[in-house]
Structure 1
Amino acid sequence: MNRTIKNTDYRFLPVLLGTDANCYGMARAFHEAYGITSLALGKFPLLETRKSRIVEVHTRPDFDQTEAFLASLDEVASLYKGFYDQLLLIACGDRYTELICENKARLEGRFVIPYIDQALKLQLENKADFYQMCEAHGLPYPATVIVSEETQDQIDLPFDFPVALKASNSIAWLEIDFPGKKKAFKVESRAELEDLVHKAYAAGYRDKLIIQDFIPGGDDAMYVLNSYSNAQGKVQMMCLGHCLLEDHTPAGVGNYNAIIQEANQDLYQTYQAFLEAIGFIGFSNFDLKYDARDGQYKVFEINIRQGRSSYFATASGCNLASWLVRDRVDNIQLETPHYHDNPHLWLHVPVDFFLGEAAESHLPQARRLINQGRVSNTLLYDQDLGLYRRLMINRFYHGQRKRMQV
């Protein structure tokens, strides 16, 4: 690796961990706000950041292993620390947040690390512990039964089928495989549930499994809440998105493909209170679902980073990169958080595919936003679309259309 990024703004360099759409969304946010190029480190070169002029990518296959991770960051620090005043370390995947939190003491002093400590991270990212915290702080969540390897043959459900099934430990889940494996399941019967639970543990999963009351509703019952908390644990920004279309492919279940930004003061205030009560720092990302049976927004999980779809916030005028820079570079703090409210349509699928798949009730608003030019796609950035990249991205979306229709 050579020092080839020579931005004219010497105050900071974004160091992004990952090479996917999440990484590209953050690189685009930095470029839009400051006109700078970001550095990205990851395991493999992925299409989303390939042939880009706004992010320089360096990869090594073992980058998700501790020794290689630290060695790569040592190299980055030695190359760039004297050239830029601050190096902003930003994870774009769960494994990288884990590595940052585990090695925070080793990295501090050379990098700005807007992340919580390991102990709080473990509580929040383990869904069983997270739901205990929700209970303590009054956050609604779906009725839940927790299963372990030892209790897998003693499942007693206080709610009816269908149910949702997912791993409490999402990182450990990635490390196993079995026929029909998905990120999450909608399970229609006890026989199907028992079969999946047994397959998971037989494949080597050792943590808890979460069985939940399945909240009725389509893709448009889902919501995503993004937030940024400053170094003192005070929320600076909250931005809510209303999902209109999800990814239903086995590997992509739970990812969003269409979001309209909208505001909800009650949710903003509720989750601000939660984040400040637990002393959260940095970006957070909550997945929620509206339960029409009782009128509550019920939380599924928190990510201690921005999510793949979080560019929807930047697209709607709430630039994620600027909140980090305001806090850690410019030392600007708000006494009262910015509760974002500026409707904008974000897509990760072609416009015509979205219009053909989304619920009819939301199409009038979506069409108005499209006609007003208030529609964005993370990867379609006019300032970063050379001929090769334009062809590559268009081919990607054509292929994605086929995948979604299977």
Structure 2
Amino acid sequence: MPVLLGGDANVYGMARSFFEAYGVHSVAVCKKALPALAHSRLVKTAVEHPRLEEDAVFTAVLQSLAKAHPDKTCLLVSCADGYTMQLARCREALAPYYRFACPAPEIVQSLGTKEGFAEVCAAHGLRTPQSVALPCGAPLPELPFGWPVIAKPADSPAYWNCRFPGKRKVYLANSAAELEEILAATAQGGYRGAMLLQEYIPGPNTALGVVNAYCARDGSVPWIVQGQVLLQERTPEGVGNYGAILTEPARQDTALLTALADLLRQSGWRGYANFDLKYTSGGEPVLFEMNPRQGRASYFCTAAGANLARPLVEDLVQQAAVTLPVLRPSVWYTAPWGVVRRFCPDKHLLGRAASLRRRGCGTCHLLAPGEGPARRAWYWLRQGAYWRKVFANG
């Protein structure tokens, strides 16, 4: 029984992967289930608790759930940064009830935070953008890089709980005045953590890449997959997330994947890891961050033949060697395909993706085959709302 920590589109992708690989339904455990799980037949139950961020509540809820299913092998999967850190802290209390892959808290803190990740990359000769951490309320310093500047929260779990108009995952400031407005808005919205100010790496959406990896219990990294971003999401709240990804065996950057696998192995990581990156005009990869779990768009791996659930089950349930991923060309998308077609900046890549989609190798993330009429109605209403937001924001 997969127990998925979270309530968003990442959870839906994981539940879909488990169902397609093993025919099992998942249980979502979260503070509040988001619309991405609405009316789904894949997520059988959503266990919601408003105080789930408290470790005592977290362990009590999960222990109770496992005790209610003594006939099941309960597999616990974090689908959000904060839950990974919480699982790392509560691992001893949950180990008798669940099987899970999660590193120790200090390793999560080292690799799974933006500042720690930059230090680890530097030690491994991997490039990250120049960055400055700005504490909440601190005056804007002299930056060692020019404008525009990327601004994003250093503490993703704390920022996730904030709600305010104009909230985005990532901001682009073209001037000091714009940056001051962003900092004021996030502070007024309740975010008290540091903001990470980063050097902007120029280039279109198609210069972006995403990598997912699974690190086995023996420390090896047998499963790692790269996707080519076609488009970032176009809605205000979706900026910084991916709207469409092309996956092709020939476009796997072997040198990069080898370096990332070495980084994870030498750092002692366990379980899923997700990297966001961008290639410079000279072809050098620049790593933005590592998410300490599979990424929100990670179902692109399953769509390309590398089912996300299999390495975890093979490693922890079957206790066997993890099967190496064998990829097939595919295109994954969560934005309406019309939006992808209209806004993808590389028409050559778009043509390849469109050809795959016509041949049945395209997958829309949030509508799995076999979903009922309520889910299908929700999905098409969502597609229409997406278009309206795109037009409203130019």
Do these two structures clear the TM 0.5 threshold for a shared fold by scoring above it? yes
Stretches of 4+ aligned residues off by more than 6 angstroms: none
Give the one of 334, 349, 355 matched to 1:362. 349
Measure, in 2, the Cα distance between the counterparts of 1:44 and 1:168.
23
3-state SS of 2:18 partner? helix
Q: Tell me if structure 1 keeps the 8 A contact 2:230–2:350.
A: no
Give the one of 40, 50, 57 matched to 1:62. 50
Please give the residue correspondences for 1:3-402 in structure 2 after superposition, counting only pairs within 5 Å: 13-66=1-54, 67-80=56-69, 82-84=70-72, 86-149=73-136, 152-153=138-139, 155-176=141-162, 180-197=166-183, 200=186, 205-262=191-248, 263-292=252-281, 294-333=282-321, 338=324, 341-359=327-345, 360-383=347-370, 385-402=371-388
Measure, in 2, the Cα distance between the counterparts of 1:52 and 1:166.
32
**1:227-275 deviations in Å (ceiling 9; x for gaps):** 0010122102111011111124332221111000131111111101111
Measure, in 2, the Cα distance between the counterparts of 1:216 and 1:108.
45
Q: Which consecutive unaligned segments of at least 5 residues does structure 2 have?
A: none
Identity of aligned residues (%): 34
Count of aligned residue pairs for this structure pair: 387
Distance 1:65 1:212, change over 3 A: closer
Measure, in 1, the Cα distance between the counterparts of 2:337 and 2:20.
23
Distance 1:154 1:397, change over 3 A: closer
Measure, in 2, the Cα distance between the counterparts of 1:369 and 1:250.
29
TM-score, with structure 1 as normaliser: 0.89
3-state SS of 1:224 partner? strand
3-state SS of 1:74 partner? helix
Once the two structures are TM-superposed, the CA of residue 199 in structure 1 deviates from its matched residue by 5.2
Q: Which consecutive unaligned segments of at least 5 residues does structure 1 have?
A: 1-12
Once the two structures are TM-superposed, the CA of residue 382 in structure 1 deviates from its matched residue by 1.5
Once the two structures are TM-superposed, the CA of residue 63 in structure 1 deviates from its matched residue by 4.9
3-state SS of 2:335 partner? coil
Q: Tell me if structure 1 keeps the 8 A contact 2:232–2:244.
A: yes
Q: Tell me if structure 2 keeps the 8 A contact 1:64–1:96.
A: no
**RMSD (CA atoms):** 2.1
Q: Tell me if structure 1 keeps the 8 A contact 2:27–2:47.
A: no
Q: Tell me if structure 1 keeps the 8 A contact 2:306–2:327.
A: no
Measure, in 2, the Cα distance between the counterparts of 1:37 and 1:108.
22
The one-letter amino acid of 2:118's match is: Y
Q: Tell me if structure 2 keeps the 8 A contact 1:124–1:302.
A: yes
Distance 1:188 1:102, change over 3 A: same
The one-letter amino acid of 2:359's match is: Q
3-state SS of 1:165 partner? strand
Measure, in 2, the Cα distance between the counterparts of 1:361 and 1:380.
27
Distance 1:53 1:131, change over 3 A: same
Once the two structures are TM-superposed, the CA of residue 50 in structure 1 deviates from its matched residue by 2.7
Measure, in 1, the Cα distance between the counterparts of 2:187 and 2:296.
29
The one-letter amino acid of 2:37's match is: T
Measure, in 1, the Cα distance between the counterparts of 2:140 and 2:28.
46
The one-letter amino acid of 2:76's match is: L
Q: Tell me if structure 2 keeps the 8 A contact 1:225–1:238.
A: yes
Distance 1:404 1:95, change over 3 A: farther
3-state SS of 2:236 partner? coil
Measure, in 2, the Cα distance between the counterparts of 1:180 and 1:90.
31
Q: Tell me if structure 2 keeps the 8 A contact 1:258–1:345.
A: yes
Distance 1:202 1:155, change over 3 A: farther
Distance 1:399 1:265, change over 3 A: same
The one-letter amino acid of 1:285's match is: N
Measure, in 2, the Cα distance between the counterparts of 1:367 and 1:35.
30
The one-letter amino acid of 2:24's match is: I
